[in-house]
Amino acid sequence: MIGPATVTAEEARAWRPEIPDVFNSADIQLFYSGTIPQLGPMEPMVEVGVGYGRSLLWAHELRRQRCHLGATLGVDNFGEDFRRWSKVAVPCRCHLQWSALVKRMAGTVDRPPLLMTCASLEAAELFEDGELGLVMIDASHELPDLVADIAAWRRKVRRGGIIAGHDWCDEWPGVREAVVDQLGGSVQLFGTVWAFEL
C-alpha cells in the first residue's frame, strides 16, 4: 500500500532550491515520501524523465536515509522534449545538460543515482520482467508516447510493485487518456501523480 506523504508541499519546495523545478515536482516528492518506505531495501527503482534531476535526487536521498542498497536509476534522452520543458533560454546541447546533471549529483551526494541517457523504450528493454519495485514515468506526456511507455514499463514491475506517473491534470489530457487506456479506471491519485499497484 502506498503510504501518506511524510512531508508538506512547502517542505518539498524548499528542499535544495538550487535544483530547478521543471513543472510541479513537489507532487512527485510528496508521492515518493509515502512510497519509498514501502520499497524493499534491495529493490531497484526507475524514474523515466529526469529533467534537472529534482525528483530523482529527492528519491535517491530518501533511499539513502533508509540505507537502501537497491539502485535508483534515472532515464532521460535530453532531446527535443527537454528543450521544451526547460526554462533555459538558449537551448543547451544534450551532452552538456548530462554533464551538468552528473556534476550536480556528484557534488551533492557521495554515491549519485545512476543515469541512463537514452530513450525510455530503449532503457525498458534492458530490464528483466518483474525486476523493479517502482517505476515513475514523467517523460513525454503525449498520448501515443505514454501509451507505449506504460506498456513497456509495467512489465518490468514486480507483482505488488507500483507504476506511477506525473501530470494527471487539465494541461495534459493525453496523460489521463493513456493511463486509463493501459491501466483502467482504478488508478490512485496523489495530487497530479497517478499510481497503480500491480
Ligand X SMILES: C[S@@+](CC[C@H](N)C(=O)[O-])C[C@H]1O[C@@H](n2cnc3c(N)ncnc32)[C@H](O)[C@@H]1O
Answer left, alpha or beta for residue 24, where phi above 0 means left and psi between -120 and 50 means alpha: left
Q: Residue 72 interacts with ligand X (CB under 6 A)? A: no
Rounded Cα distance between 150 and 112, Å, is: 26
Q: Judged by CB under 6 A, which of 37, 71, 85, 198 binds ligand X?
A: 85
Q: Which stretch binds ligand X (CB under 6 A): 36-44, 51-59, 151-159, 178-186?
A: 51-59
Q: Judged by CB under 6 A, which of 33, 35, 72, 120 binds ligand X?
A: 120
Q: Judge whether 109 and 102 are in contact, CB under 8 Å.
A: no
Closest CA to 122 of 83, 79, 163: 79
Q: How far is the CB of 159 from ligand X (least distance, A)?
A: 26
Number of residues that bind ligand X (CB under 6 A): 23
Answer left, alpha or beta for residue 54, where phi above 0 means left and psi between -120 and 50 means alpha: alpha
Q: Residue 32 interacts with ligand X (CB under 6 A)? A: no
Q: Judge whether 155 and 188 are in contact, CB under 8 Å.
A: no
Q: Judged by CB under 6 A, which of 33, 35, 72, 77 binds ligand X?
A: 77
Q: Residue 61 interacts with ligand X (CB under 6 A)? A: no
Q: Judged by CB under 6 A, which of 38, 70, 71, 81 binds ligand X?
A: 81
DSSP 39: S
DSSP 51: T
Q: Which stretch binds ligand X (CB under 6 A): 9-17, 61-69, 73-81, 185-193?
A: 73-81
Q: Judge whether 62 and 33 are in contact, CB under 8 Å.
A: yes
* Interface residue list for ligand X (CB under 6 A): 22-23, 25, 28, 49-52, 54-55, 75-79, 81-82, 85, 119-120, 138-140
